[in-house]
Amino acid sequence: MSLFWRMFLSNAAVLMLATGLLVGPWVTVSSPVLMHETLVLGGGLIAMLVANALLFRIGLAPLKRLTKAMADANLLEPGQRTRVTGGGELTELTETFNVMLSRLETERAESSCRALSAQESERRRVARELHDEVGQTLTAVILQFKSLADRVPRALHEEVITAQEAVRSSLDEVRRIARRLRPGVLEDLGLPSALRALVTEFSAPGVTVSHRVDGSLTALGAEAELVLYRVAQEATTNAARHSGASRIDLKLRAAGARAVELTVSDNGKGFHRATEGAGLQGMRERALLLGATLTLGSHGSGGTTVRLRVPLPTGGAI
């Protein structure tokens, strides 16, 4: 039965009941209306209003649930669906919304995959240009300074050496940036070695980073390893920049027989439902690519914990 007929028939039943009481021997109205008759009519009116309110509340409850589901829908947290109840237009509307949400989640995942793939390609291109072009140019400048240091007067020798060391420091920084953009260790030696290198090279004033990585993890796949590495990289950077932490702990371990879990925790000021920035949204989008679960919260002693749980591909083993 459609929503229109349900509401119409429920109201018709209330009106028919009221009419039957008025025309029957149970309720009579004098002229002028007596006080007790006024009380009876007023009570009947109140009863009709209450009955209508209850009927409308029950009839429109599925629509209210659907409205709340629409307001709470988040494509970065897939799998949320509205329970199909009622009948007629409401059932059709709820089913249509669920289908639309599934389609949007699929399209969002596909577009995120394309965007992240393009981002990684651009990172590799920039890293290659930094290493091959800027790196080679700075190396040539260092060699020129070295040659010049042997020919300049002694009074200028220290200045030339200082300039040479400044260029060498810039070269080291360019190489470090290139490694962060394109983690060659990840491609050559795998995720455990790449995470250890990430922690070793991580530098932030007053921040100590420790790691505990299970080196026996295998069969994760290149895509899963890249997602885990990027989430670890982003989480440690966010903790150092925004949490005011003095210590960051990074852990990678097996989570049962069918998943691996990455945890990045700090002792900073915690996460108090602040607005999610581009970094956290990027981590959520990367998690969607693998069907992984990303959770963020504060633990009892203060600080923030980022936890990424990645299911192993079918046929994979630890």
Q: For position 317, what pLDDT does the model report?
A: 39
Last-in-domain residue among 91, 106, 121: 106
- pLDDT mean across residues, the chain: 78
Residue 314: CATH number of its domain: 3.30.565.10
- Compute CA 109 distance to the chain's CA centroid, rounded to the nearest angstrom: 12
Q: Which of 37-46, 145-154, 304-313 has the lowest mean pLDDT?
A: 37-46
Whether residue 125 lies inside any domain: the answer is no
Whether residue 169 lies inside any domain: the answer is no
In the sheet that 247-254 helps form, which strands lie side by side, from edge to edge?
A: 208-213, 247-254, 259-266, 304-311, 293-298
Q: For position 146, what pLDDT does the model report?
A: 86
CA 293 to CA 304: how far, in whole Å? 17
Report the pLDDT averaged over residues 291-308.
79
Confidence class of residue 20 from pLDDT cuts 50, 70 and 90?
confident
**pLDDT surpasses 80 at 220:** no
Would you state the torsion angle of the CA atoms of residues 189, 192, 194, 198, taken in this order, to the nearest 10 degrees?
A: -160
Q: For position 315, what pLDDT does the model report?
A: 47
In terms of domains, do 192 and 314 share one? yes
CA 118 to CA 106: how far, in whole Å? 18
CA 270, 273, 278, 282 torsion-angle sign = positive
Whether residue 241 lies inside any domain: the answer is yes
41 C-beta neighbours (distance < 10 Å), count:
15
pTM of the model: 0.61
In terms of domains, do 220 and 309 share one? yes
Whether residue 43 lies inside any domain: the answer is yes
Contact 303, 243 (CB under 8 A): yes
Report the pLDDT averaged over residues 106-116.
76
Confidence class of residue 245 from pLDDT cuts 50, 70 and 90?
confident
Q: For position 318, what pLDDT does the model report?
A: 38
CA 230 to CA 218: how far, in whole Å? 18
Q: Which are the contacts of 195, defined by CB distance < 8 A and separation ≥ 6?
A: 211, 213, 228, 229, 232, 250, 252
Last-in-domain residue among 75, 106, 137: 106
Count the domains in the chain. Answer: 2
In terms of domains, do 84 and 199 share one? no
In terms of domains, do 101 and 224 share one? no
In terms of domains, do 97 and 199 share one? no
For 311, the 3-state DSSP assignment is strand
Contact 268, 303 (CB under 8 A): yes
Confidence class of residue 200 from pLDDT cuts 50, 70 and 90?
confident
Residue 201's φ and ψ, nearest 5 degrees, are -85, -10
Domain boundaries, position 71: 3-106
Last-in-domain residue among 56, 78, 106: 106
In terms of domains, do 200 and 98 share one? no
Confidence class of residue 1 from pLDDT cuts 50, 70 and 90?
low
Token reading at 183:
């983690």
